[in-house]
Amino acid sequence: MKEERKRFLLSLIFPMLFILILWIIKISEILLHLDFSFLGIFPLKTKGLMGILTAPLIHSDINHLLANSVPLLILGTGLFYFYNKIAFKVFILSCLIANIWIWLGARQAYHIGASGIVYSIASFLFVSGVIRKNVKLMAISLLVVFLYGSMIWGVLPLQPQISWESHLMGAIAGIVLAFYYRDRGPGRKIYSWEFEEEDEETDEFKYWEIQNESKELDHEK
């Protein structure tokens, strides 16, 4: 139990630090009367290349940041808890892959916010859970879908003021990473009754094997 608690607390560190940085940036922007939107991704423009690295750090307002903070904390903790050995790689690749795709194919506007990372990690955990048949991984993503109500519809161009491209590209990036790392991370839990069934099948096979051998011996006699 102590080991699990320690692992859980360690899993909180990076997501909380990342969210803290987001809030420091936003508060600084407000207090200093600045606008960091120019650090977003502007597709197919040289000035928008920097946004591939900086866009997730910038949010339009407090509500935008609040909407991303809760799922980032839950999903980020889940990622670092279940996939501690590859969590940093998945997190960074989620950001880079989705943002490069946004720069290549999104609308001509500044795209900002960490929601692409949210969608990427959510789809990564969910698809990984399906691949491994791990209920815990699927449950945490479904929990975020419940908390983050517009998540499912966020990949569709329903609201022009929202970068649905970030959501869509993030979700696709997460799916790609889930298959790429399909051999890494927790597997499906095997229950004791499955071992019992396997033993019964083995015993039954041995029984019929012995019976067949006996019949062959009788036939030879």
Asked if the structure places residue 38 within a domain, the reply is: yes
Domain shared by 136 and 216, yes or no: no
Asked if the structure places residue 215 within a domain, the reply is: yes
Domain count along the chain = 2
Task: Provide the domain limits for residue 209.
Answer: 190-221
User: Which phi and psi (to 5°) does residue 148 adopt?
Assistant: -105, 70
Domain shared by 219 and 165, yes or no: no
Q: 111 - beta bridge partners?
A: 41
Q: Which of 53, 33, 54 is nearest to 96 (CA)?
A: 53
Domain shared by 150 and 214, yes or no: no
Domain shared by 205 and 128, yes or no: no
Domain shared by 72 and 130, yes or no: yes
Asked if the structure places residue 152 within a domain, the reply is: yes
Report residue 12 as tokens.
């909180």
Domain shared by 97 and 200, yes or no: no
Find the CATH number of the domain harbouring 114: 1.20.1540.10
Domain shared by 90 and 162, yes or no: yes
Q: Are 82 and 136 in contact (CB under 8 A)?
A: yes
Domain shared by 172 and 207, yes or no: no
Give the tens place of pLDDT for each residue, 30-56. 999 999 999 999 999 999 999 999 999
Q: Which of 161, 156, 155, 121 is nearest to 141 (CA)?
A: 121
Domain shared by 92 and 113, yes or no: yes
Domain shared by 174 and 210, yes or no: no
Report residue 152 as tokens.
């499912």
Radius of gyration for the alpha carbons in the chain, expressed in angstroms and rounded: 24
Q: Which of 55, 175, 182, 190 is nearest to 120 (CA)?
A: 175
Q: 41 - beta bridge partners?
A: 111
Domain shared by 34 and 138, yes or no: yes
Asked if the structure places residue 59 within a domain, the reply is: yes
Asked if the structure places residue 185 within a domain, the reply is: no
Q: What is the per-residue DSSP string for 35-46?
A: -GGGGSB-TT-G
Q: Rounded distance, CA 144 to CA 177, Å?
A: 19
Asked if the structure places residue 113 within a domain, the reply is: yes
Q: How many CB atoms neighbour CB 138 within 10 A?
A: 17
Consecutive 10-residue averages of pLDDT for the chain (221 residues)? 86 96 96 94 94 95 92 92 92 95 93 93 88 79 70 74 88 94 70 50 54 54 50
What per-residue confidence (pLDDT) applies to 218? 54
Domain shared by 168 and 211, yes or no: no
Give the tens place of pLDDT for each residue, 102-117. 999 999 999 999 999 9
